[in-house]
Amino acid sequence: MSIATLNPWQVLDQLNNDKLRRYNSRRWQPVVDITESKTGYEIHLELPGVLPEQVQVELDDTLLKISGEKVRKQEDGVEYRYRERAVGEFSRSFTLPEDADRNAISAAFDHGLLLISIGKKEQAQPRKIEIQVS
């Protein structure tokens, strides 16, 4: 009868190889919060490890698209034993509500957080129309 021994490094290597296959062929999605106030909307995206120049924000009619790529810095002589952090391309799209002002959109990036502010259109106020007498 033989007793099999478990090599934890071999298990980690196998897990690592499985994860690499999945992450290399997959996109990832940053987490997002969306808020609304009386004056507009805000979209907050967490993009840790992403530089502002690696992010694109585009508006096509009523579709707001945020995309980019998170790259892992390669170090010579370093071999990963285990990886969980997602890397690669990402993309999120949002359809703007009808009251969103497409000309009042701004984006700011600070410490891995992308903030997109979208103003609201002014709502038509009721007004009195004077009747002309001829």
Q: For the segment 5-63, what is each residue's pLDDT rounded down to a tens digit? A: 666 677 667 766 655 544 444 578 899 999 999 999 999 999 998 999 999 999 999 99
Q: What's the predicted TM-score (pTM) here?
A: 0.70
Residue 28: the pLDDT is: 86
97 has pLDDT over 80:
yes
For residues 77 and 75, give the distance between their C-alpha atoms in angstroms, rounded to a whole number. 6
Q: 4 in helix, strand or coil?
A: coil
- End-to-end, the C-alpha distance of the chain in Å comes to 113
Lowest mean pLDDT among 14-18, 43-47, 84-88, 102-106: 14-18
Instruction: Return the CATH number of the domain spanning residue range 30-120.
Output: 2.60.40.790
Please choose, from the candidates 31, 53, 55, the residue with its C-alpha nearest in 3D space to the C-alpha of residue 43. 31
Q: 8 in helix, strand or coil?
A: helix
